[in-house]
Amino acid sequence: MSKIYKNQIFIPMTALLILLLFNLIADPSFFKITMGLNSAGNPVLSGYLMTVLDNGSELAILAIGMTLVTAASGGQDISVGAAIAIAGSTLLRVLCGTNTRPDTLRTPIFVAFLISCLVAMAFGAFNGVLVAIFKIQPMVATLILYTAGRSIAAWINNNELPIISDPKFSYYGGFIPGIPIPTPVFIAAAMVILITLVLKFTNLGLYTQAVGINESSSRLNGLNPVFIKWLTFVILGLCVAVAALIKVSRLSSINYSVIAKDIEMDAILAVALGGNALSGGKFNMAASVIGAFVIQLLTTTLFKFNVPSDALPAYKAVVVIMLVVFSAPVVRDRMSVLFKKLSAESRKEAA
Amino acid sequence: MSKLSQKFKNMTDTSLLLTITILVFFLMYIGAIVFQGKGFLKPQTFFNILNENAALIILSCGMSTVMIAGGIDISVGGVTALISMCCAVYLDFKGGNVLVSMLIAIGIGLAYGLVQGFLVAYLDIQPFIVSLAGMFFARGMTTIVNTNPFNVQNESFVALKNTRIIVPGLGSVNKKGIYVDAYVEIGVIIALLVVLIMFCILRWTKLGRSFYAVGGNKQSALMLGINVKRTKFMSHIICSLLAGIGGYVYFLHVGSGAATHAQGAEMNAIASSIIGGTMLTGGVGNIIGTFFGVLSLRTIQNIVASAGLDQAWWTGITIAAMLCLFLVIQSVVMARKKMSVKK
């Protein structure tokens, strides 16, 4: 029993079960998945659970990068939302050129995606330089891009909102004809498999944890902490570009001030919910990914109960506070002391 | 020259960064006068910067205090919006009086300070996470209190809002040839008072000095017999209390309640504090610097606007560029200091 309790996946799993149980009691139709036809006439699966999987994909992808950044630098990147705006804007700019209503795409989608990856990784690298070389706290260093990001995104496209009519572009955020499961789920799964392979076959995981736990001793052991911290930010940049592709593809357009709004909060929350220490060090990737879907489940549940989207942050904030209070070391110590006392007393009574 | 450089070396971190800030502000303002024409020469231009930013000055003072003590609070913008909305709803829908609305503002600020301070100081949770949640809570609550933005019609409030304090002798002649007095709003007086009081507290009181001690080095502060937890707690109380006052001053300036009010105010407050020479790592900073930080931030925005780059995105990019510049300066200055200490 104590083994399960100590396992990191225990925390997000418990949250997941509690939320699912709540939904089961409140309204069992939450679990209904139906096969229907979407507007393009393709057979698609729909239902609240599919919405969670679909919309949680970007969050899961971001959580991967955020976990690495958190582990290595002991801080979080709060510019991911703004960076998604930049990457999405670049993507559209490359696809459309200066024409805002193109009939045909100027470049293949793959090429445009690669370019937006490069741009997002460059911005990640910028954050990384500030954090790793200039030793600025990650949250404050990324504050720069947080303030400027959406402005830069608007500037890239001259503040115009290109709309892509090519149906192929909408596959990434919607459905591929003939496949009833939304594409973002596959993209997220691919990213998760990729990062699992990378963590399994390279030393990336070990090195990031070493740097996060103790920077100077990792340097004395021959690691290069500056490079590793920088690398995690570049990887987060890649995750941002993938998330941006999905986000932009969903709309076939972009709205600079609204796209991926407040997603940084959700991404950080996913990492925290995964039981990872926000002060860096050890991490568990699977727990973070599950955490991301739990957050999305929470959002969908709140939406289902007609909570307006503007009021959503208030509820989430309460969840965050409860979460951090219960995972705070001080509280945990107190609780375990209390539990010991209680069990000792009950043993006494039994005796 | 060598004497000057010697003096430069002997400066404390606080005064070194303060000097840089004040120099930058004056250079920028003189540059604006030279290149942008006479608009900046009018005292009223300067007073307008003050009028528009009285709330930001107060918020930044609180932010600096909490940053000096080694924390951060990004909930101030949300608290400002929440206060404007609550006061607006109270004044208009409930027909309340102005004094009670002030008490509401301060009460909300104090409540925020108590909760956040307790979580940060006594439960040892990262201040960034706590105040991030605080920010989202405040923004969400604002829309729960009332969704639609509206202007306050309450008569005594509007009278207070339109009160202008005339600064004698600094008026100017307008285009029609009529002499117009230079004026400031009530908020500016409150802001200047807050700057003065906070300066005194940080400089001469035991509490103020312990902020520096705790922010500089927690371990040695503990060894000195300072109650570290209580000090951190107090820094959050002061910050949120000032957010309450700043929120009311903001409300007094705009005279309306809306969920989108003070969007990004926390970022501006942090940027002003950093430009004003407050170190993120804690232990270094000065309220006078923060005051000049706000002024610099706004002056550069005015320059950008009057240079014809008035598209919305330029403001964001300039603030970010300035923040970046000052962060790098801080980091370089500190690295150099460390090097010279080692020698």
CA B277 to chain centroid, in Å, comes to: 13
Inspect the interface and report whether the beta carbons of A325 and B128 lie closer than 8 Å. no
Q: Is residue B318 part of a domain?
A: yes
Structure tokens at B140: 């969400």
Average pLDDT, chain A: 86
Q: Tell me the CATH number for domain A2-306.
A: 1.10.3470
Strand A43-46 versus strand B150-151 pairing type: unpaired
Instruction: Write out chain A residues lying below 8 Å of B233, CB-based.
Output: none
What integer is the mean pLDDT of B224-237? 92
Question: What is the CATH classification number for the domain harbouring B238?
Answer: 1.10.3470
What pLDDT shows up at residue B236?
94
Instruction: Write out chain A residues lying below 8 Å of B280, CB-based.
Output: 136-137, 140
DSSP state at residue A171 = G
Minimal C-alpha gap between B141 and chain A (Å): 6
CB of A130 within 8 Å of a chain B CB? The answer is yes
The residues near A46 (Cβ < 8 Å, ≥ 6 apart) are A33, A34, A35, A36
Name which of A9-18, A31-40, B136-145, B261-270 the model is least confident about: A31-40
Rounded Cα gap, residues A317 and A299, in angstroms: 12
Instruction: Write out chain B residues lying below 8 Å of A279, CB-based.
Output: 126
pLDDT for residue B1 is more than 50: no
What pLDDT shows up at residue B278?
84
pLDDT for residue A36 is more than 80: no
3-class DSSP state for residue B171? strand
- Tell me the C-alpha to C-alpha distance, in Å, between residue A321 and each of A269, B202, B233: 10, 30, 17
Instruction: Write out chain B residues lying below 8 Å of A324, CB-based.
Output: 119, 125, 129-130, 133
Minimal C-alpha gap between A229 and chain B (Å): 17
Quote the domain boundaries for residue B142: 14-35+42-334
**Which ipTM was obtained for this model?**
0.76
What integer is the mean pLDDT of A334-349? 81
Minimal C-alpha gap between A38 and chain B (Å): 33
CA atoms within 13 A on the CB side of B171: 13
Inspect the interface and report whether the beta carbons of B264 and A155 lie closer than 8 Å. no
Q: Is residue B1 part of a domain?
A: no
Structure tokens at B338: 């460390």
Instruction: With cut-offs at 50, 70 and 90, classify the pLDDT of residue A85.
Output: very high
CB of B123 within 8 Å of a chain A CB? The answer is yes
Query: Which carries the bigger pLDDT value, residue B9 or residue A291?
Result: A291
Q: Give the closest of A148, A265, A329 to B132, CB-based.
A: A265
CB of B160 within 8 Å of a chain A CB? The answer is no
Residue of A nearest to B333 (CA): A134
User: Residue A23: what residue type?
Assistant: N
Minimal C-alpha gap between A268 and chain B (Å): 9
Inspect the interface and report whether the beta carbons of A317 and B72 lie closer than 8 Å. no
3-class DSSP state for residue B222? helix
CB of A308 within 8 Å of a chain B CB? The answer is yes
At B35, phi and psi to the nearest 5?
-95, -25
Q: Is residue B5 part of a domain?
A: no
Instruction: Compute the C-alpha angle B26/B29/B34, nearest 5°.
Output: 120
Burial of B169 (0-12, 13-18, 19+ CB in 10 A): exposed
What pLDDT shows up at residue A4?
57
Q: Is residue B339 part of a domain?
A: no
- B116 close to B131: Cβ distance less than 8 angstroms: yes
Rounded Cα gap, residues A6 and A11, in angstroms: 9
What integer is the mean pLDDT of A184-204? 92
Interface test with A, best of B66, B115, B128 (most A CBs within 10 A): B128
Sign of CA dihedral B56, B58, B61, B67: negative
The residues near B343 (Cβ < 8 Å, ≥ 6 apart) are none
Instruction: Compute the C-alpha angle A99/A100/A104, nearest 5°.
Output: 65
| Residue % of chain B over a pLDDT of 90 | 26
Q: Is residue B9 part of a domain?
A: no
pLDDT in tens, A159-182: 888 888 888 888 888 888 878 888
Instruction: Establish, for the pair of chains A and B, how many residue pairs have beta carbons separated by less than 8 Å.
Output: 131
What pLDDT shows up at residue A308?
80
Rounded Cα gap, residues B155 and B92, in angstroms: 10
CB of B59 within 8 Å of a chain A CB? The answer is no
Rounded Cα gap, residues B178 and B193, in angstroms: 32
Instruction: With cut-offs at 50, 70 and 90, classify the pLDDT of residue A1.
Output: very low
- B109 close to B244: Cβ distance less than 8 angstroms: yes
Q: Is residue B232 part of a domain?
A: yes
- Tell me the C-alpha to C-alpha distance, in Å, between residue B52 and each of A264, B162, B252, B254, B262: 30, 14, 11, 9, 12
> What are the sequence ranges of the domains in chain A?
2-306, 313-351
How many distinct structural domains can be found in chain B?
Answer: 1
Q: Give the closest of B122, B140, B267 to A312, CB-based.
A: B140
What pLDDT shows up at residue B12?
65
The neighbour count for residue B218, using CB atoms within 10 Å, is 18
CB of B122 within 8 Å of a chain A CB? The answer is yes
Helix residue ranges per DSSP H, chain A: 2-6, 10-26, 48-73, 80-96, 109-132, 138-156, 183-201, 204-213, 215-220, 225-251, 263-273, 285-304, 312-327, 329-350
Average pLDDT, chain B: 83
Minimal C-alpha gap between A123 and chain B (Å): 14
At B166, phi and psi to the nearest 5?
-85, 130
What pLDDT shows up at residue B173?
65
Interface test with A, best of B63, B125, B229, B275 (most A CBs within 10 A): B125
The neighbour count for residue B108, using CB atoms within 10 Å, is 23
What pLDDT shows up at residue B10?
59
What pLDDT shows up at residue A207?
92
pLDDT for residue A297 is more than 80: yes
Instruction: Write out chain A residues lying below 8 Å of B270, CB-based.
Output: 140, 143
Rounded Cα gap, residues A87 and A299, in angstroms: 25
Interface test with A, best of B324, B326, B328, B332 (most A CBs within 10 A): B324
């909102």: which residue's tokens? Answer: A161
Question: pTM for the complete prediction?
Answer: 0.82
Rounded Cα gap, residues A206 and A224, in angstroms: 13
| Residue % of chain A over a pLDDT of 70 | 97
What integer is the mean pLDDT of B274-285? 82
pLDDT for residue B34 is more than 60: yes
Minimal C-alpha gap between A130 and chain B (Å): 8
Closest-CA residue to B327 (of B289, B266, B281): B281
Inspect the interface and report whether the beta carbons of A148 and B317 lie closer than 8 Å. yes
pLDDT for residue A317 is more than 70: yes
Minimal C-alpha gap between B99 and chain A (Å): 28
What pLDDT shows up at residue B175?
64
Name which of A6-15, A249-258, B240-249 the model is least confident about: A6-15
pLDDT in tens, A52-71: 888 899 999 999 999 999 99
Q: Is residue B6 part of a domain?
A: no
pLDDT for residue B177 is more than 70: no
Instruction: Write out chain B residues lying below 8 Å of A140, CB-based.
Output: 72, 270, 274, 280, 327
Q: Is residue B142 part of a domain?
A: yes
- B144 close to B85: Cβ distance less than 8 angstroms: no
What integer is the mean pLDDT of A127-156? 86
